[in-house]
Amino acid sequence: MRWSQAFIPTLREDPADAEAASHRLLVRGGFVRQLMAGVYSLLPLGRRVRTKVMRIIREEMEAIGAQEFVLPELHPAELWRRTGRYEVMADVLLTLEDHRGGELVLGPTHEEVFTLLAAELTSYRELPQLWYQIQTKFRDEPRPKSGLLRTREFTMKDSYSFDLDEEGLDRQFRAHYDAYVRIFRRLGLPAIPVVASSGAMGGSGSVEFMVPAAAGEDDVAHCPSCGYAANVERATSTLPAVEDGEGPAAPEAFPTPGVRTIADLEEFPGGAPADRQIKTLVYFLDGRATLVLLRGDHALQEQKLRDATGAVEVRPARPEEIRTLLGADAGSLGAVGVEDVPIIADLALRGRRNLVTGANVDDTHLRGVDVERDVAVSRWEDLRAVRAGEACPDCGAPLEVFRAIEAGHIFKLGTRYAEALGATVLDVDGKQVPLVMGSYGIGVERNLATIVEVHHDDKGIVWPVSVAPYEAVVTIVKVDDTDSWETGKRIYEELEALGVEVIVDDRDERPGVKFNDAELVGIPFRVTVGPRGLAEGVVELTTRATGEREELTVAEAATHVARLVEEGRRSE
């Protein structure tokens, strides 16, 4: 390919709305263009990288015995109603009506459709089955951002396993776990497997593969000492033991004028430090008012509340709802004496006494509260958000918490979808049993962008060889110099013959423009051909990842570069 004939619309300036490095560089490098919020066109360079990402994914899926399908993007809404996800995922489902008034869903994922196909299985002898596709998905993201990291239309590899029992699911889950480790290694991504919430997918457990990056939208708690890792939606830690001491025989009210927050009460005369306060939050869970209690210095992890209760609709109460329910404003709330309202308390409050909380009277608090004596707790759950520096639950070392991008997610679904859609087989005893399922996803464009988040510098993208749009570029400094043109063309043709994916920069541009574009686009190896070097019989090789330069004879240039490219491929 000649650069002069290729569509590579590089830009000198960053796009004004770019938040993430990948967004900025993929636009500037001529890989993508935005059509509207959360919807992008992939230009030729972007398509080449995407194809390589999908090739790696396909190879690893087929290595564990997966069979590829192509399923419809249009689904009947009724199918989603049968599994309950039409309501659960209502906030992201893109829906429409056909001309006959039929309700349709643009598929955000394909558990329902694959399960419907699996209903054709009849016997345990046909199991296990492992099916996958690489397909367009649609999600009505309320806040699409960061370029390809969060979009409304994207490509996903989604695979589904079908087994007779949990033991079979465990094998399929482990096979996917290992395959994902290989995929991310080949993509050049330092992905960390972490325990995660299953969210709207449901099931008994899931693992996310998280790549540390400032542009990430998830927080991961990780122990550098023993390797414990979990999304903060599931993470736990070990808290130091607390000695409360004896308190009064019953809670005592005291005035707290102007106190509206935990911090206010810390500073108020006769108040209490945050770790000796009870924080009372009012939430509506599927329409029912519920009190949520935490230690004053702890924050609620809302996904833990969702997972613990199974609630579909979870929202904080509005100020007027709080006053109607408890008779006071948010700064003076408590659970002492509250009846007929479910109370969910965080485990860190269990056994605590002599604490301070609101009295449900404005500008008044209670001291000497014994949680188990004075509060009618309905259930105890792990609800708090883990913080950096807290003790690892496995080894006790300090945890670190960092931002990360979710590059992949694997789920143990169990029988939820099979039961809803009638996917059963006869077991060895001739009994009809539901299929046991797993679901496993990787976002293609998200991984493409994540590679850029990990591999870039102040000059542009630094693609790993495994996914680079071109593996080498031959840059002809002066295209009107006959010797330079002929030599560059010959090296380009030799590289092609050696199987290297190469582009020749034959544009009539200043050398600086060509060099800057090659660095911005991120091509791993650049061979520079110019009159000055050719006068001494050499060309210059620049390695993008390291910036190292070396002179090569014209005769050895192509074979040397081809060898480096092959080494880069093998490092997958």
Question: 496-515: per-residue pLDDT in tens?
Answer: 999 999 999 999 999 999 99
Does 563 score more than 90 pLDDT? yes
pTM across the whole model:
0.89
Shared domain for 174 and 205, answered yes or no, is yes
Tell me the pLDDT band of 205, cut-offs 50, 70 and 90: confident
- In-domain check, residue 247: no
- In-domain check, residue 57: yes
Shared domain for 372 and 416, answered yes or no, is no
- In-domain check, residue 396: no
Q: What percent of the chain has pLDDT over 70?
A: 98
Residue 357 DSSP code: E
Does 201 score more than 60 pLDDT? no
CATH of the domain at 449: 3.30.930.10
- In-domain check, residue 261: yes
Q: Are 111 and 417 in contact (CB under 8 A)?
A: yes
* Final residue before a domain boundary, out of 381, 397, 421: 381
Q: Are 394 and 195 in contact (CB under 8 A)?
A: no
Using DSSP, state whether 432 is helix, strand or coil.
strand
- In-domain check, residue 2: no
Span 2-15, average pLDDT: 95
Total domains present in the chain: 3
Residue 136 CB neighbour total at 10 angstroms: 12
CATH of the domain at 481: 3.40.50.800
Does 202 score more than 90 pLDDT? no
Using DSSP, state whether 559 is helix, strand or coil.
helix
* Final residue before a domain boundary, out of 424, 453, 482: 453
Q: What is the mean pLDDT of the chain?
A: 95
pLDDT digits (tens, 9 = 90+) for 26-42: 999 999 999 999 999 99
Shared domain for 134 and 199, answered yes or no, is yes
Does 199 score more than 90 pLDDT? no
- In-domain check, residue 236: no
- Ramachandran assignment for 251, one of left (phi > 0), alpha (psi -120 to 50 degrees), beta (any other): beta
CA distance 216 to 196: 15
Shared domain for 33 and 130, answered yes or no, is yes
Shared domain for 439 and 491, answered yes or no, is no
**Residue ranges making up the domain that contains 472:** 464-570
Shared domain for 65 and 188, answered yes or no, is yes
How far is the first Cα of the chain from the last one, in angstroms, to the nearest whole number? 25
75: exposed, middle or buried (Cβ count in 10 Å: 0-12, 13-18, 19+):
buried
